[in-house]
Structure 1
């Protein structure tokens, strides 16, 4: 197992050279996590649901989690207008800090956009980006599902007509502390972050945010996110459902979760990567045959570790200089970069967002402390189970709607990995594999299992809404309505 982890680390390091710099931060974040497992933080084979002693303690604690007086803070958080935004903005925006640990001085930053039409009747969506340690503001809000995209000048915003606040009221949470504008006055918190503390803090954020926005207390809540949010989202959902059993605690009306290109299981995930590369003509027949012969990702035991290492290394070399997060997309060419249409993916977007969020007038408008904002942060990760499948299985058993969606041009957390993971559940099929449509075109493919839906988004990379915003909006609209997208 350690040999295969070390090989995966080597692969991720090589990808930093091969992929576009737009995704380098996310690669480095996952690389750091896996690299740490080779020494002080080996992977824990126990499922996360067996590691939640703190959650159980909170359930039996009469006082529940920390809840502060939020009087007047909603009004203080209202954004008058973001610098460079379009003239006519017909929805309310809020941003600010929510304290989740007063003793340590830990506060999480959020950006919230209400729906322009009939917001009081629409559900609440909490969006989380992964990494671990990457910003939901910089990725989710500014490059994916938020109401604006940043122009190539790094100073002005263009409207995103496919924003998810068309169908929901959306919170973007920068989590854990140390990511983006979120912070802690206890610096040791940055080196002692992990899956459990992130779930606990995100839950504390929600409880306090609902006190600040009491009109949303009874609203249907959906959790969504991508990549390492394949950990964040199911774990937070489990935390919510566990704490809902505490009669003295705020009951959160969780309805469902949607996770995109989600890293949920290391064995099926790693095998799925190599099979995807071969099936998309990115690796040779010899490489794929060697990996299947000598690498046993499922049990963690290889019949010949050196041979496994050899064929994986060969696979790395065969990739060439491509963006593995979207195997058919161009790399960033700064001299030719520009944002014309929201529908046209710009691989240099992260540069524009970084420039914009570091403008003094932007940080002032967002009500944040002046700081050097970055897309991803070097937070230490102290716990990360090798699989999240047991917790997803529990959510399905409890009746929580679970959608796992996948952009089909992502080679980093590909659709093959997601399919292999879902297949381990052995769920009965209720809706056979079929195409679904968005704007008279095939938007992707889906299969409905009992309690879980797998849905692909055609032509989308790792960050699905960045590549196919209209199809992503069609998908999430139907998810929130609890029905599958149309078959014609």
Structure 2
């Protein structure tokens, strides 16, 4: 109710918000952009800090909090979808996602940007948000940050950000909204979806068009996930029962199971006894032999095919994460992103304080809310890199199996199973990408040879997850096994509805204007922007690139030449400068020094060759069926439905 009150009075606060133009990013200030030859591949960008509440006079403890966002959209394409991406931790910046996973750019070892060929922004507009407060560039103006301690509070703060975002970018309000992310975002996203559905119930005017949740290697069920470590390690030969340390591992597993089954204590969000299992596994598999390099002493919890130093055990991976601070430290970058270098905190991948404070004294694990979200018709896609340990396939599938929804638990006998094939168009070759298990509006996707951070090491294949959601796939029968194959490709297309050239809107529109230098519409605060000759005309304006067909040249040579001269002269008068000086961000002479150390890389729940780590249960392999909606019930808390018992190992 507290949340709805703020939204009902939102109209009183609108005047305090900046306009979209204030968040425009000058791409020429970002290192590496000038090396991109094809300018059409450079996205339109907006970024900066959005206040959680727009009225600075509000007597509210959250009025001093701002969330940092970075938005990307394709030129000349009016996408009908908007993806908001979150990294996990908790406390890990979504700039990992923007610059090392699904965003349009990656960062090279020198701190310069280059194009990410597997970016998801080729399928939808994307917004990357640092949250909760204290994460990345999202900060508080108070000397002492008031960190969130519960997911309900995190959710309330995100909704404040989201409403203000749509106030600033009203054109995005009608787009299909997709919430996406990985790891601890498996908690964030269902909580945010729950808050959005609640908001829509109390708001008949402008509902938020939430369509889907895409959760990668999600930490959705802490206890079940913890109890999956021993079975996963055994199944993938990470450890064997004959190992001298196996007894220690079983003890940790048993203590966790006993704590869950205990009737004496109130159910908790997670248990310290369960958290110890992963530590026991790392100790049990530590290689102290003299011939083993120190850099390979420990298992990498984000990809069991890789090794790392101890006790990092995956914190030093992936290597390109270390390049991101170099990018943010370069002169002019913070200014280009509409951040004030004099007050902006140093960017760090993860903030331990956020993790330690978010103890969730009242919140339930998000798995409890998936049934009611499925009941609303929201598509839920859980995708998993098969090499990940920390949020592995077995744990996620066990959580689904126990979940009561649609009148039964887990996937039903009517569910469908497909092998997933990725087609590399450059070499015209197919490769096995994973498998898909689908039931009504719930889909599980396993990605072969992929880590905790699927888009980082399997970028082109990961984009196929969006294609699967959009049903933009090829369905065919395998000639050898007779199985149904789902094929995606590395085609850099957009959705059919997104292919259309952006139509020029009414020049009198109260929030659109057209930027000829970039050939796109940018939001306007109601003031008509003048062209170069200063006319400020509200009449239609012609594009400078006039063309004369070859046929006309042959038929009317003299007339064509004269027409060309006239049109060229007119175009020169109308061509604007590269960028409106009033909208350019000044280049600062300030430099920011960064200390790139291991302390900047936090061990958090956020990351090559292996086949499927599990054997799915026997299910139907029928052709596509309609997505009927049935009744849903809550997750069972029955003791018998808890995760694997010791005797099952």
Same structural fold, with TM-score higher than 0.5 when normalized by the shorter chain? yes
**Cα 1:393/1:472, change in 2 over 3 Å:** same
Q: C-alpha distance in 2, partners of 1:298/1:434?
A: 37
More deviation in 407-416 or 286-295? 286-295
* Total equivalences in the alignment: 416
20, 23, 27: which one aligns with 1:77: 23
Which of 216, 241, 254 is the equivalent residue of 2:197? 241
Partner residue, 2:49: 97
Q: Greater shift after overlay, 419-428 or 70-79?
A: 70-79
> Is residue 2:349 matched to residue 1:359?
no
CA–CA separation in structure 1 for the residues paired with 2:129 and 2:276: 41
Structure 1 residue aligned with 2:90: 132
Give, in whole Å, the separation in 1 of the partners of 2:260 and 2:6: 39
Question: In structure 1, which of residues 423, 426, 434 is the aligned counterpart of residue 418 of structure 2?
Answer: 434
User: Aligned with 1:69: secondary structure?
Assistant: helix
**Aligned counterparts of 2:141 and 2:170: Cα–Cα separation in 1:** 28
* Residue of structure 2 equivalent to 1:300: 260
What are the Cα deviations for residues 246-288 of structure 1, in whole angstroms up to 9, with x where unaligned? 1367410000101011111122111112211121111222538
**Deviating more after overlay: 226-235 vs 290-299:** 290-299
Aligned match of 2:114: 158
- Once the two structures are superposed, residues 161-194 of structure 1 have per-residue CA deviations (whole angstroms, 9 ceiling, x without a partner) of 1111100000000001111111112355433443
Q: Which runs of 5+ in 2 are unaligned?
A: 264-270, 287-297, 310-315, 404-408, 424-429, 476-484, 488-649
- Matched with 1:372 is 346
- The answer to whether the 8 Å contact 1:210/1:217 transfers is yes
- Give the Å deviation of 1:117: 5.3
2:226/2:274 contact within 8 Å kept:
no
**Aligned alpha-carbon RMSD (Å):** 3.0
The 3-state SS of whatever aligns with 1:121 is coil
* Corresponding residue of 2:577: none
Larger Rg: 2
The TM-score normalised by the length of structure 1 is 0.78
1:304-346: CA deviation from partner (whole Å, max 9, x where unpaired): x9x99998775332222121101113549xxxxxxxxxxxx98
* Post-superposition offset of 1:206: 1.3
Residues 244 and 362 of structure 1, relative CA distance in 2, 3 Å threshold: same
* Stretch moving more, 202-211 or 85-94: 85-94
Other-structure match for 2:466 = 476
* Structure 1 alignment gaps of length 5 or more: 1-55, 333-344
Contact map agreement 2:24 2:46 (CA 8 A) in 1: yes
- 1:392 partnered with 2:370: yes
Q: Which residue of 1 aligns with 2:591?
A: none
Question: Within 5 A, what are the aligned runs for 1:10-21?
Answer: none
What is the match of residue 50 of structure 1? none
Q: What does 1:21-420 align with in structure 2 at a 5 Å threshold?
A: 56-59=1-4, 63=8, 67-69=13-15, 73-81=19-27, 82-85=30-33, 86-87=35-36, 88-90=38-40, 91-101=43-53, 102=56, 103=58, 104-116=63-75, 118=77, 120-137=78-95, 139-154=96-111, 156-247=112-203, 250-285=206-241, 287=246, 290=250, 294-295=254-255, 297=257, 300-301=260-261, 315-320=281-286, 321-329=298-306, 331=308, 347-370=318-341, 371-377=345-351, 378-379=353-354, 380-383=357-360, 385=363, 387-420=365-398
CA gap 1:232/1:71 in 2 versus in 1, 3 angstroms: closer
Judge which range, 293-302 or 98-107, deviates more: 293-302
Instruction: Give secondary structure in 2 for the equivalent of 1:294.
Output: helix
2:282–2:299 CA contact under 8 A, matched in 1: no
Q: Tell me, what secondary structure is at the counterpart of 1:437?
A: strand
TM-score by length of structure 2 reads: 0.59
